[in-house]
Amino acid sequence: MQTHEIVRRFTAHFEQAGHTPVPSASLILEDPQLLFVNAGMVQFKPYFLGDVPAPYPRATSIQKCVRTPDIDEVGKTTRHTTFFQMAGNFSFGDYFKRGAIEFAWSLITRSQDDGGYGFDPEIIWVTVYHDDDEAIALWKEIAGLPEERIQRRGGDDNYWDMGVPGPGGPCSEIYVDRGPEFGAEGGPEADEDRYLEIWNLVFMQDERGPLSPKKGHPPIGTLPHKNIDTGMGVERVAFLLQGVNNVYETDLVRPVIAKAEELSGKRYGAGGPEGEIDDVRFRVIADHARSSLMIIGDGVTPGNEGRGYVLRRLLRRVVRSARLLGITGPCLAEFAAVVRDAMSPTYPELATDFERISAVIRAEEDTFRATLTAGERIFSGAVEEARRTQRTVLPGDQAFQLHDTYGFPIDLTLEMAAEAGLTVDRERFTALMDSQRARAKADAAGRKVGFVDASVYRAVLDTHGATDFLGYQTCESESRVVGLLRDGATVPAAHEGEQVEVLLDRTPFYAEAGGQQADSGLLRGASFEVRVDDVQSPVAGLRVHRGVVTAGTVTLDAEVVAEVDRTRRSAISRAHTATHLVHAGVRGALGSTAAQAGSLNAPGRLRFDFTSPTGAVPPAALVEIEEEVNSVLQEDREIQTYETSIDEARTLGAMMLFGEKYGDRVRVVDMGDYSRELCGGTHVRRTGELGLVRVLSEASIGSGVRRVEALVGLDAFKHATTEHLLVNQLAEQLKARPEELPERINGIVERLRTAERDLEKHRADAVLASAGALAQQAEDLDGTALVAVTAPDGVGGNDLRTLAADVRGKLGERPGVVALFGVDGEKVSFVVATTKAARDNGIAAGKLIGEFAPAVGGRGGGKPDLAQGGGTDPSGVDAAIQKLRTAIRG
């Protein structure tokens, strides 16, 4: 049975049983605890947590999932994969254990001719939580399972919760016995390779406290509504029904291996030690190519942090595995096309958006291939050095160089080191990474509500309901205080000078979302005032006003007038509208591969990030985009906002952002045939209200991602005025018309460069002229001439090496050593050069450096004829020269 048919039958089975089919959520959801969606229930968490009421009593979905903790194990075993599909059925206070068991047993064992999967009931085993007698009785009654094929297991295996206080419950797992050729008798307790888990039924009935029942701690209560959460592994069912040995041989994965066989000329499953190693590489390619395509499809681009880092690591493991199989040319796009053809019947967006996806993949492969050869050469040299010196640890400095210079993720370096029988100094690597991050600017946007305890917010939501948002219609409203928090705890009152979080029954304040900054303003009561500095939505449906009590005392149930800072709101709204226009202009100029990857809408300015696999946007294109956007402003188009169904929005061609999860009803911001996007932000009524849009810059912020920054309205006008004044001043100083300035300035710059080159030549000549005098200062050390001095001020780097070589040449045929030190502030650089006669006597420059470098707090190395290094203690130069004399005499 093909995988798509397995999926179809699952959905049909539960749809016929009254379940609402729910499309797979994006792999990217706004959950601070998850990089990627890793289970079918994730999109339903708000319903299970009680944050919002479930819109249906029963649901079913086929959820795409990615789990990344076991990336290193992928390929080494046939059980670990990063991407998989989880089929699930869910009940929100509707049916419970009996219904879940009946639905699962019916689908699993019903004949294939009758729409089921046709598993033999005699090979089905189940496990239950150790004290769940009710589930055992139901399995006996409904399925007729004998006692010996029902096994009780502890909390680690058969209890489920979210890892935090909240809902949880016992679970029952369904296993298929693959037969004695796959392992020992005795059920799942004895061997989980032979007895393969295919489905987990979670009976969500408990309220978990701070300590988990998984570890033997009792629940703190019973849920008022019992729920069902199940997950069936589609790929596991597929390989069982297709008669193959593992997921890599199923119909949706094996084609990628076949493509790798075609490109490499090698055969999967060839056997032998080398064949087993190659099989690991084939499986890495198959799994990671599929995962990467699905992740890019949901809007992630390769980067150095978070999801982008995971994606980059997956793609680069594919490239390296292919290279080790003998595939020398670009290959990612070919693997991606195979994945697209296999997966698009279930996920058609992979086909419709393949141009963008393949562009991202090609750009990352080109970038990595350009550095892979050089990086592997550096790595091989480090391995040879470690073996030569009988070390088993690769220095953290070299691991950091591979990461920082050659783009090797540390995990790839660890993997390659393990293949070479080495470990890596992670402590040193981490220290260098931390130092680098400390020097970089920290972008704290989007982390304001990261890992908060949301229980206090949910309590307000349960009691008073969601905040009624009025901000689309007005900037002022009469409201009531329904919640007060200070330092994360509920309080009855807050006094003047205190930081406070205020929750209202309704509000005109916009909470930060979708790249739009939050509103600010005031909450005025009869005898108090609160200055609102920030507004967030830590729980869906609530808006939390954060600020300071500037007068009086605010109390629960107090009546307030909520006033948004209209000037700030208007400026932000203009920026947000301009972002939509810039987005449309960029896509018009660059094509559909230029997809939005982030934005910031602040008063008077905007930042728009987008994917651009082809690199920088040409300056001429930026000018065209700016002109086109301002022409739309001049047309003073009406901007309409309206709600519609998601299907109607697609029909209208509304732009939907990758990674966003949309409900059945969506809000459309419509600027006619120029821009039409789904958006929950605030906007102006007509494009003419923007006044002016000035594009300031365009630059890279990561591999394949560019950023445009622009000013809007009065800020744009002020910038234009300042720029005009500056141009006029330059024109006056250079006695040229404004249009002549580029040519005039280029001429001045070229003359400066010529003068600098002449100056450099004169300086080099002066340095070399001192070589003869230095050679005459050579002292005799038992037949070896030594020139060891501090070089003239300003001599360092290449000049120091050139001078050392020239002094060595003037020593003639006799044994000689030249050691020159350059001092620049708190830094010391040094170069050692030896004559051939000295080397014949066993004197090597690189070894000499090892003798004296510690005296200046440094290190270095090189070849016997020329070596160099540096240090941090200029006061030790004299001591270093003395150690050099001792080493030469020795």
Chain segment 77-122, per-residue pLDDT in tens: 777 789 999 999 999 999 999 999 999 999 999 999 999 999 999 9
Identify the CA nearest to 476 among candidates 557, 562, 359: 562
**Is residue 172 within 8 Å of 127, Cβ to Cβ?**
yes
Instruction: Give the pLDDT mean for 722-729.
Output: 89
Whether the pLDDT of residue 813 is over 70: the answer is yes
CA distance 597 to 578: 16
Chain segment 315-367, per-residue pLDDT in tens: 989 998 998 899 988 999 999 999 999 999 989 989 988 988 888 898 888 87
Chain segment 540-577, per-residue pLDDT in tens: 889 999 999 999 999 999 999 999 999 999 999 999 99
Check whether 580 is labelled as a binding-site residue.
yes
Residue 405: which pLDDT band, with cuts at 50, 70 and 90? low
Check whether 576 is labelled as a binding-site residue.
yes
Q: Which CATH class is domain 3-245?
A: alpha beta
Identify the CA nearest to 700 among candidates 628, 621, 579, 613: 613
CA distance 694 to 604: 11
Residue 392: which pLDDT band, with cuts at 50, 70 and 90? confident
CATH architecture observed for domain 569-722: 2-Layer Sandwich (3.30)
Q: Where is pLDDT greater, at 128 or 798?
A: 128
400 by DSSP, 3-state: which?
helix
Instruction: Give the pLDDT mean for 800-815.
Output: 89
Identify the CA nearest to 882 among candidates 839, 851, 838, 845: 851
- Per-residue confidence (pLDDT) for residue 685, from 0 to 100: 95
Average pLDDT, the chain: 88
- Per-residue confidence (pLDDT) for residue 167, from 0 to 100: 87
Whether the pLDDT of residue 14 is over 50: the answer is yes
Chain segment 134-173, per-residue pLDDT in tens: 999 999 999 999 999 999 999 999 999 877 788 899 999 9
Looking at the chain, the whole-number percentage of residues with pLDDT higher than 90 is: 56
CA distance 263 to 259: 6
DSSP string, 628-695: HHHHHHHTT-B-EEEEEEHHHHHHTT-B--TT----SEEEEEE-TTS-EEE--S---SBGGGG--EEE
The two tokens of residue 403 are 């990461």
Check whether 217 is labelled as a binding-site residue.
no
Instruction: Give the pLDDT mean for 667-675.
Output: 91
Same fold? 455-564, 770-889: no
- Per-residue confidence (pLDDT) for residue 452, from 0 to 100: 46
Whether the pLDDT of residue 444 is over 70: the answer is no
Topology, domain 455-564: Elongation Factor Tu (Ef-tu); domain 3 (2.40.30)
Whether the pLDDT of residue 370 is over 50: the answer is yes
Chain segment 265-320, per-residue pLDDT in tens: 999 999 888 889 899 999 999 999 999 999 999 888 888 778 888 898 899 899 98
**Where are the domains positioned within the chain?**
3-245, 252-439, 455-564, 569-722, 736-769, 770-889
CATH of 770-889 among 3.40.50.300, 3.30.930.10, 3.10.310.40, 3.30.70.3420: 3.10.310.40
Instruction: Give the pLDDT mean for 25-50.
Output: 84
Instruction: Give the pLDDT mean for 660-666.
Output: 71
Q: Where is pLDDT greater, at 592 or 564?
A: 564
705: Cα separation from own chain's centroid: 13
Chain segment 842-881, per-residue pLDDT in tens: 999 989 998 999 999 998 888 899 999 989 999 999 999 9
- Per-residue confidence (pLDDT) for residue 703, from 0 to 100: 65
- Per-residue confidence (pLDDT) for residue 279, from 0 to 100: 93
CA distance 200 to 52: 25
885: left (phi over 0), alpha (psi -120 to 50) or beta: alpha
Whether the pLDDT of residue 756 is over 90: the answer is no
